[in-house]
Amino acid sequence: MTTERAARIDNTSRREFFKVGAGLTLAFYLPASQAAKHAGKAGKEDNATPTSPPFAPNAFVRIGTDDRVTIIAKHMEMGQGTYTGLATLVAEELDAAWSQIQVEAAPADAKRYNNLFFGPTQATGGSTSIANSFMQMRQAGATARAMLVSSAAQRWQVAPESLIVRAGVVSHPESRRKARFGELVEAAAKLPVPREVKLKDPKDFVFIGKHVPRTDSKAKINGSAIYTQDIHLPGMLTALVAHPPRFGAKVKSFDAARAKAVKGVVDVIQIPTGVAVLGKDFWSAKKGRDALTVAWDETDAFRQSTADITRQYQALLDKPGALAKKVGTDGATALQGGRAKDALPAVADGETALKTAAKRLTADYSLPYLAHAAMEPMNCVIRLDDAGCEVWNGEQGHTNDQHKLAAALSLTPEQIKINTLFAGGSFGRRSNTQSDYPLEAASIAKAIRQPGKPAVVKLVWTREDDMRAGYYRPKFMHRITAGLDNEGKLVAWQQRIVGQSILKGTALEMLVKDGIDQSSVEGAVNLPYATANLDVELHTPHLGVPVLWWRSVGSTHSAFAIESFVDELASAAQQDPIAYRRQLLAGHPRHLGVIDLAMRASGWDKPLKPGQAGEKRGRGFAVHESFNSYVANVAEVTVKPDGSFKVDRVVCAVDCGIVVNPDVVRAQMEGGIGFGLSAALHSEITLNEGRVEQSNFGDYPALRMHEMPRVEVHIVPSAAPPTGVGEPGTPVVAPAVANALFAATGERLRQLPFKLGVAKPT
């Protein structure tokens, strides 16, 4: 073993934590995960204590005398494979056997489990889980390993350097002595925690970059995996809430008589967000809510229709917006957001360059509001008693939710105990700094709480509730104008963006700088294509539609606009779309890396096989960087004589730095492509006088089996620090498909979902 980097666990509370001793450590761990597991399945507490205390050298790993190695995951598992990734990192440096690894969710405790990229906040998001944990989890594993080695060295009276560790066994080759981890943990637990440990040289990796199976497959295949929806606690009531039909409306009055007459309905109460019907189970609460009559006060309700908003956005596209980025011909950058143009340092102007350009192109792109529509509709279980509040949730923002719930319940954040369960998808929805659905659950528990008795409530949103509750990917419109010289090179790129701010008015408002929400302009302000002038402007209309990030955030719209437009430029310059991009990306080796790999793997240099008689085939390309990962897609489509089309094949190349688990990377690319394609083909939330028109998968269709293309994923080998894969697979497929449809039909589709002209999804 060589030293990649002498490392030390940075967890400030580590020593304190360790000092409390193994017995107390056990007590600390049991309530959150074990109680949840047992209460969830059988409705009873399990107070059984293992006979031997485990070895818990740090907050992330615990090893029992039974040889089980438990990895404590600070990030929630919503399908992205992070449990497997985090476990891989610990197991690698620990030299455990993969079969002895299990994963459990960490409790809410930002002191130990904060996201190292987010400061003192425990949260999962922004495709950061593996990136921020890469060294931390390896150090956790290496620390435990060092202590097991010391323990064996002491037992056998040999030098630690003479020992080797492999697959959960420490051995002394010279004397042929061996000990399993489980045989060493009791003595190891009494040793001091080393301050510095050596990490492996990447050439010695046995798990990182290799195939290991997912840790959550079995439970998700046999139905035993527990989600919030599956929690059942003693005395628990199920609550459904009648929400107002328009955003911003309130309850004026309600008649609960018919609802209360439904068998199984226990209570009907008004809460800040509507009227809650509590029943002994889902079906009684649902029937009760169906029987409820509510009159709404819609004085402050949002009443615009999608067409009104579109008109307003189109008008804004004609007006200069706040400047998000300006780079001049002279190379000078005048950045700053929000200020009027005349207040900026003088830089050569793109307007002038546009006037003298050999060719000038302009195009508008339009993208709708989108719901996340995770398979598990939002839900939350809350148990409120004298000691505090216990939460069961597919928890994505532990620290934020602790603070929000504490404020609402007049408790301290430490009194909010969170049991993090598997989430049935999220795509950004569970990471809401407004804590909307946990607060709703808490408001119900607070309202029904009787002195001396716990209030136990499971809030369940139906699919319809989930789809109409807002927090959509904002509707966005882009206008891009570019000037080209005679060789097709860019002399000016002007991009005007219109859309609501996700961050304004939230706990993350500090990320809005000088009026520019960076999440609205990402992808555009860091345009990789070489241009003599770059202008990015932003309009941020304020509307009463709640908005939120949606898998890959700003790139969901900027990549579609930019990658479609670059394709239009290539076409105007009469150049191959990939060759055209390559010459504008000279200073961007990682873009070029994925471009070249996708090109080779897709057979771009060979003509596309023709379809059947009357069919048109086309191939399109797009490349985009998001969350510091680089993804290129080649999409192949077949358009039938009736105008319907099928995406046949998507070849994907990805550069996400060091790959921890290649199969999880592939899975995230496959899924990200499917998720992006689902939106491109089908998804649109529309408003009719403020009412959301969609309600379920009938009118908000999702991609289905027959529409999923063949996906081939290729990974660029890299020694760069690992970056995320949960989101970057999503934004590239829509422009790749639009460009393929153009290649097949000559028709440009500049609006999502694709629905113009002849090209319609099959």
Partner 1 sequence: MLTLNINGQNHALDVEPDTPLLWALRDTLQLTGTKYACGIAACGACTVMLNGAPARSCVTPVSAAVGQRVTTIEGLPTNKISKTSQKAAKAVQAAWEKLDVVQCGYCQSGQIMSAVALLASNPQPTDADIDAAMAGNICRCATYHRIRAAIHEAAHSLT
From 146-154, 314-322, 425-433, 513-521, span contacting partner 1 (CB under 8 A): 425-433
For partner 1, the binding residue among 102, 224, 362, 412 (CB under 8 A) is 224
Residue 205 sits in the site that holds partner 1 (CB under 8 A): no
Q: By C-beta, is 268 or 673 nearer to partner 1? A: 673
Element (H, E) at 647: strand 644-655
Residue 81 sits in the site that holds partner 1 (CB under 8 A): yes
Residue 222 sits in the site that holds partner 1 (CB under 8 A): yes
Least distance from partner 1 to the Cβ atom of residue 630, Å: 21
DSSP 276-302: EEEESSHHHHHHHHHH-EEEEE-TT--
Q: What is the dihedral of CA 712, 718, 723, 725, to 10 degrees?
A: 10
Residue 462 sits in the site that holds partner 1 (CB under 8 A): yes
Residue 293 sits in the site that holds partner 1 (CB under 8 A): no
Residue 493 DSSP class: E
Amino acid at 730: T
What's the gap between Cα 118 and its chain centre?
14
Collapse the DSSP code of 161 into the 3-class scheme (helix H, G, I; strand E, B; otherwise coil) and give the result: helix
DSSP 6-56: EE----TTHHHHHHTHHHHHHHHHHIIIIIHHHHHHHSS------SS--EE
By the 8 A CB rule, do 536 and 521 touch? yes
Q: Where are the beta strands (DSSP E) in 243-358?
A: 250-255, 265-271, 274-279, 293-297, 322-327
Alpha-carbon distance 737 to 743, whole Å?
10
From 148-156, 278-286, 357-365, 540-548, span contacting partner 1 (CB under 8 A): 278-286
Element (H, E) at 639: strand 629-639
Q: By C-beta, is 239 or 251 nearer to partner 1? A: 239
For partner 1, the binding residue among 57, 64, 79, 368 (CB under 8 A) is 79
Comparing C-alpha atoms, which of 655, 665, 649 is closest to residue 737?
649
By the 8 A CB rule, do 80 and 33 touch? no
For partner 1, the binding residue among 221, 510, 613, 719 (CB under 8 A) is 221
Two tokens, residue 240: 């459904």
Q: By C-beta, is 79 or 182 nearer to partner 1? A: 79
Q: By C-beta, is 213 or 610 nearer to partner 1? A: 213
Residue 220 sits in the site that holds partner 1 (CB under 8 A): yes
Considering only residues 316 to 335 of the shown chain, the ones binding partner 1 according to CB under 8 A are none
For partner 1, the binding residue among 98, 369, 392, 427 (CB under 8 A) is 427
Residue 648 sits in the site that holds partner 1 (CB under 8 A): no
Q: By C-beta, is 38 or 303 nearer to partner 1? A: 38
Residue 235 DSSP class: T
For partner 1, the binding residue among 169, 703, 715, 716 (CB under 8 A) is 703
Alpha-carbon distance 94 to 87, whole Å?
10
Q: What share of the chain is helix, strand, coil (3-state, %, to 5)?
A: 35, 25, 40
For partner 1, the binding residue among 201, 283, 589, 689 (CB under 8 A) is 283
Least distance from partner 1 to the Cβ atom of residue 87, Å: 14
From 63-71, 227-235, 327-335, 521-529, span contacting partner 1 (CB under 8 A): 227-235
Collapse the DSSP code of 78 into the 3-class scheme (helix H, G, I; strand E, B; otherwise coil) and give the result: coil
Q: By C-beta, is 376 or 563 nearer to partner 1? A: 376
Residue 261 sits in the site that holds partner 1 (CB under 8 A): no
Alpha-carbon distance 466 to 459, whole Å?
12
Residue 674 sits in the site that holds partner 1 (CB under 8 A): yes
How large is the angle between the packed helices 577-584 and 555-572, nearest 10 degrees?
A: 110
Residue 423 sits in the site that holds partner 1 (CB under 8 A): yes
From 107-115, 335-343, 590-598, 701-709, span contacting partner 1 (CB under 8 A): 701-709
From 400-408, 503-511, 664-672, 749-757, span contacting partner 1 (CB under 8 A): 664-672
Residue 705 sits in the site that holds partner 1 (CB under 8 A): yes
Q: By C-beta, is 322 or 734 nearer to partner 1? A: 734
Residue 225 sits in the site that holds partner 1 (CB under 8 A): yes
Q: Is the peptide bond before 753 cis (omega within 30 degrees of 0)?
A: yes
Residue 714 sits in the site that holds partner 1 (CB under 8 A): no
For partner 1, the binding residue among 4, 216, 298, 596 (CB under 8 A) is 216
Residue 238, burial from CB neighbour count under 10 angstroms (0-12, 13-18, 19+): buried
Residue 41 sits in the site that holds partner 1 (CB under 8 A): yes
Binding string, residues 113-142; x marks residues near partner 1 by CB under 8 A = ------------------------------
Least distance from partner 1 to the Cβ atom of residue 367, Å: 19
Comparing C-alpha atoms, which of 680, 323, 364, 372 is closest to residue 553?
372
Residue 227 sits in the site that holds partner 1 (CB under 8 A): yes
Comparing C-alpha atoms, which of 56, 54, 55, 59 is closest to residue 12?
59
| Helix ranges (DSSP H) in 537-653 | 555-572, 577-584, 589-602
From 45-53, 189-197, 245-253, 374-382, span contacting partner 1 (CB under 8 A): 374-382
Residue 711 sits in the site that holds partner 1 (CB under 8 A): yes
From 5-13, 54-62, 209-217, 738-746, span contacting partner 1 (CB under 8 A): 209-217
Alpha-carbon distance 146 to 184, whole Å?
12
Residue 83 sits in the site that holds partner 1 (CB under 8 A): no
For partner 1, the binding residue among 704, 720, 755, 757 (CB under 8 A) is 704
For partner 1, the binding residue among 141, 274, 328, 425 (CB under 8 A) is 425
Residue 281 sits in the site that holds partner 1 (CB under 8 A): yes
How many positions of this chain bind partner 1 (CB under 8 A)?
63
Residue 44 sits in the site that holds partner 1 (CB under 8 A): no
Residue 678 sits in the site that holds partner 1 (CB under 8 A): yes
Alpha-carbon distance 345 to 394, whole Å?
48
Question: Phi then psi for 574, rounded to 5 degrees?
Answer: 55, 45
Q: By C-beta, is 657 or 726 nearer to partner 1? A: 726
Q: By C-beta, is 239 or 354 nearer to partner 1? A: 239
Alpha-carbon distance 80 to 86, whole Å?
11
Give just the sign of the alpha carbon dihedral 41, 42, 44, 50. negative
Least distance from partner 1 to the Cβ atom of residue 374, Å: 6
DSSP 496-535: EEEE--SSTTSTTGGGEETTEEHHHHTTTTT--S-BS-EE
Residues in contact with partner 1 by CB under 8 A are 41, 43, 78-81, 213-214, 216-227, 229-230, 232, 238, 263, 281-283, 373-377, 422-427, 460, 462-463, 663, 667, 670-675, 677-678, 696-698, 702-706, 708, 710-711
